[in-house]
Structure 1
Amino acid sequence: MSTPHQHHNPYADPQDPLFKPTGFVLDPTRAALVVVDPQNDFLSPQGVSWPFFGDSVTENNVVAHLEELFAAAKRAGMTVAVSPHYYYPNDHQWQFGGPLEHVMHEINMFARRGPLTLEEFEGSGADFLESLKPYILDGKTIIASPHKVYGPESNDLALQLRKRGVSQILLAGMAANLCIESHLRELIEQGFEVAVVRDATAGPRIPEGDGYLAAMINFRFLAHALPTTAEAIAQMSRAV
């Protein structure tokens, strides 16, 4: 008989899953930690999306988990990459978009003054979360060109990873059912082995539904592994 907590946890794995483990084993010599959108507009209480994502970010302890993942990947000598999301003034001239795209443009999410200027970037919603900057701005982390909707099809993430001999990815960051799921799907199609760190991401809770729950369901179908932060760090640490 399940306890009330287990019974009411909508994110718990099924007790009798259909799918078997894939046999994913992390190899830090050919793996990268990829963190999507570690930016203020998602992860800071001052960010424009916090009213929709804040509860999930807080419950999953996403900020602390991302710090731990960055630190462990650096200790293990792994490739680390960030796939950021920026919107420039010319992006607001797009003639169509999906429902969430319209919201992102309306609330000026990830807004920058232009592609060739950092004017007013420091501390803005598009800037990286302050506590993560020491890892991101160490001169070694790949900062990919910005993705523009949800997936990495329009940026240079896959190229940068291939140029470093990467074939395995630990995927973390924001947001679970949007950019993380889109990155997961595309990177799988590109031939990478991809594990999603389940508690280093979060999703929106809005009238349309629980984005984190939607993502977890699809992650179970798609991801080659679905470790917790602690499990991912243990796998990285074995290589040090």
Structure 2
Amino acid sequence: MQFDSATTALVLTDPQNDFLSPDGVAWELVGKSVEKNHTVDHIEQLLASAKSGGYGVFVSPHYYFPHDHQWDFGGTLEKKMHEIGMFDRSGPLELAGFRDSGADWLDRFKPFLDDGRTVICSPHKVYGPEQNDLVLQLRKRGISKIVLAGMSANLCVESHLRELLEQGFEVAVVADATAAAQHPELGDGYEAALTNFNYIAGAVLSTEDAVEQFASQS
């Protein structure tokens, strides 16, 4: 997969405190994987190199509003996210209590994401981008190639990978710029995702590979 700044963009899923900060509500599940992969450092490197190379950056965030907690059913991790208040916001038209909350960006990412040029999409609600405007935003800017990273590997990243491929995009996943839950009964989500990345993605890259391409193909 060859990068070029006219048709290639970096897409990040859920670069938010609840996943990536030791104070986040999901840290007990994902923290070891985040630290092992140096996920935060790698996402920051991707952001810096994409911005420097003139590439578009798109964020598909995860927010839950009070009305989302009225759903009647959900999957295992979906229900867990609601139980622990993950990505909670006070309302879709309000920012009360948002700053530095679990739904906010990690501080290290804010200089890149709050620069006025990053495209912040509407929130996805379960795992994939079917319910938000990510595909529309990409199409409207002529993007056909995606460099995909963020959280978490076997849930939102993999779901975005599958849907973006179905929508006709060429997608490379940056395997060390993500991480996932490790659970004694449910298993290792990161290892499960790696298997599927290798089967499904157009390319599976390291952060080093992606940064090199951002620098050489801008």
Q: Same fold (TM over 0.5)?
A: yes
Stretches of structure 1 lacking an aligned partner (at least 5 in a row): 1-23
Matched AA of 1:224 = G
Structure number with greater CO (CA < 8 Å, separation at least 6) is: 2
Residue of structure 2 equivalent to 1:115:
92
Aligned-residue sequence identity (percent) comes to: 60
CA contact (8 A) 2:8 2:143 kept: yes
TM-score for both structures, normalised by structure 2: 0.98
2:205 is paired with a residue of what secondary structure? coil
Matched AA of 1:73 = A
Residue of structure 2 equivalent to 1:213:
191
1:226 is paired with a residue of what secondary structure? strand
The alignment status of 1:190 with 2:167, answered yes or no, reads yes
Residue of structure 2 equivalent to 1:91:
68
2:64 is paired with a residue of what secondary structure? coil
From 40, 43, 66, the counterpart of 1:66: 43
State the Cα distance separating 1:147 from its structure 2 match.
0.2
Deviations 1:117-138, CA, capped at 9 Å, x for gaps: 0000001000000000010010
Stretches of structure 2 lacking an aligned partner (at least 5 in a row): none
Residue of structure 2 equivalent to 1:3:
none
Distance in 1 (alpha carbons) for counterparts of 2:162 and 2:19: 21
| 1:105-184 correspondence to structure 2 within 5 Å | 105-184=82-161
Distance in 1 (alpha carbons) for counterparts of 2:5 and 2:182: 34
State the Cα distance separating 1:28 from its structure 2 match.
2.5
Matched AA of 1:140 = R
State the Cα distance separating 1:113 from its structure 2 match.
0.2
State the Cα distance separating 1:37 from its structure 2 match.
0.1
Matched AA of 2:16 = Q
State the Cα distance separating 1:239 from its structure 2 match.
2.5
Root mean square deviation, CA, Å: 0.6
Runs of 4+ in 1 over 4 A off after TM superposition: none
Deviations 1:162-208, CA, capped at 9 Å, x for gaps: 11100000000000000000000000000000000010000110021
Residue of structure 1 equivalent to 2:206:
228
Matched AA of 2:150 = G
Matched AA of 2:79 = H
2:22 is paired with a residue of what secondary structure? coil
Larger radius of gyration: 1
State the Cα distance separating 1:29 from its structure 2 match.
2.0
2:11 is paired with a residue of what secondary structure? strand
Residue of structure 1 equivalent to 2:19:
42
State the Cα distance separating 1:212 from its structure 2 match.
0.2
